[in-house]
Amino acid sequence: MRPLPWLPVLLLLALAAYLLPEWSPRLGTGPQTPPAVSQSLPGELPPNASDLFEATRPAVVQVESLNTRTREAGLGTGFFISEGGQVMTAYHVVSTGQLFRIRTLEGRRYRARVTAYDAAADVALMQVEGRTPGFPFLPLAGAEPRVGQEVLAIGNSGGDFLQPRRGVLLRLGAEAGHADFPQGTLEMNAPLAPGDSGGPILDGTGSVIGVVSFIRIDESNQTRASYAVPVTVDSPLVRSLLAGEQRDVPVIGLNLDPVHSGLTDPPGAVIARVVRGSPAEAAGLRGARFDAQGNLLDLGDVILSVNGRRVRDANDFIRTVRGGAAIGDTIRVGYIRDGEEREATITLVGARSLTDLYGEE
């Protein structure tokens, strides 16, 4: 078996201990424990960074998410962008939840709701409920950052509560190498880990230049690089979020198998699991089969084409669907099962409408 082309695996900084995208509950692509975090606690910061941390920390919050159907809880980071209680965070922190709370530096907890999001960009806005204005907040940057500048992140990884991580901005416009991740991100060497998702990346003035999204780890489970979605006060992304827009991504309801996708004969996108209540389930697509001990018995259906266009692996399938279709469109999915080629006609839905979605296609 040849190595996957996008290793070292790119991992979203996920809710609590989850490492996304874990396309199948049994066929996760990454390590099952969070990467180690190099501590950069306040007492170890140089004076200028320590002052910046103390000044900005009150505006950063811990985000708690609960999926009311599965009862799964998650943890991430966010930050106030207005005194009226608007909180910016990573979309994947809130994408599968229905109930949300934020916890401030003072230890107070407030109910919140999701008001806007861009799933492809992995950024969301929340609004605190039942509280008068008066929250400390962080300004968004007015211009793009510069490669080489020092940056400060504040987050909740490693069991810490709103602690700092320092680094240097290495690259602008970094491509994820995976179709399901945000593209055009900021690349840093700050040692981030699960729990930091949605937290701010600050420049030396205390302005937010990015929202933490995902990391890249090496074979020893150490963070090699961290990535954040760039934000500026007048960017189209920020304007759409402040306008309350909710931009979902089109899906059919699959968890794909990243281990075997592209390695079958003929190569294609292998289905690991079909989401309950999804268009893919209604169309009769099948996922992998396992025995009582969780051992793989049979691979799922192998997708070979979308609307007659050949797809050769999971990445290719996701890119084809999202690049050429929209929610509500109907597509033709060609697949193979037990050596027999078949086709299904499926209508795309928004990913957020599928509460059982783990992080798909």
Q: From CA 193, how far away is CA 187, in angstroms rounded? A: 14
Contact status, residue 331 vs residue 253, Cβ threshold 8 Å:
no
Q: With CA atoms as reference, report the closest residue to 40 among 197, 179, 262, 191.
A: 191
Q: pLDDT value at position 139?
A: 98
Q: pLDDT value at position 43?
A: 63
Single pTM value for the model: 0.83
Q: From CA 212, how far away is CA 210, in angstroms rounded? A: 6
Residue 88 three-state SS: strand
Q: pLDDT value at position 72?
A: 85
Contact status, residue 35 vs residue 215, Cβ threshold 8 Å:
yes
Q: How far apart are the first and last CA of the chain?
A: 23
Q: Which domains does the chain have, with CATH numbers?
A: 1-247 (2.40.10.120), 250-353 (2.30.42.10)
Q: How many CA atoms lie within 13 A of 257 on its CB side?
A: 27
Contact status, residue 219 vs residue 198, Cβ threshold 8 Å:
no
Q: pLDDT value at position 330?
A: 96
State the alpha helices, DSSP H only, in the chain.
47-56, 91-94, 236-242, 279-282, 314-324
Query: Mean pLDDT of residues grouped by 10 in the chain (361 residues)?
Result: 30 28 25 50 81 96 90 92 96 92 94 96 95 89 94 91 94 88 93 93 97 86 88 96 96 91 93 93 94 89 96 93 91 95 95 64 48
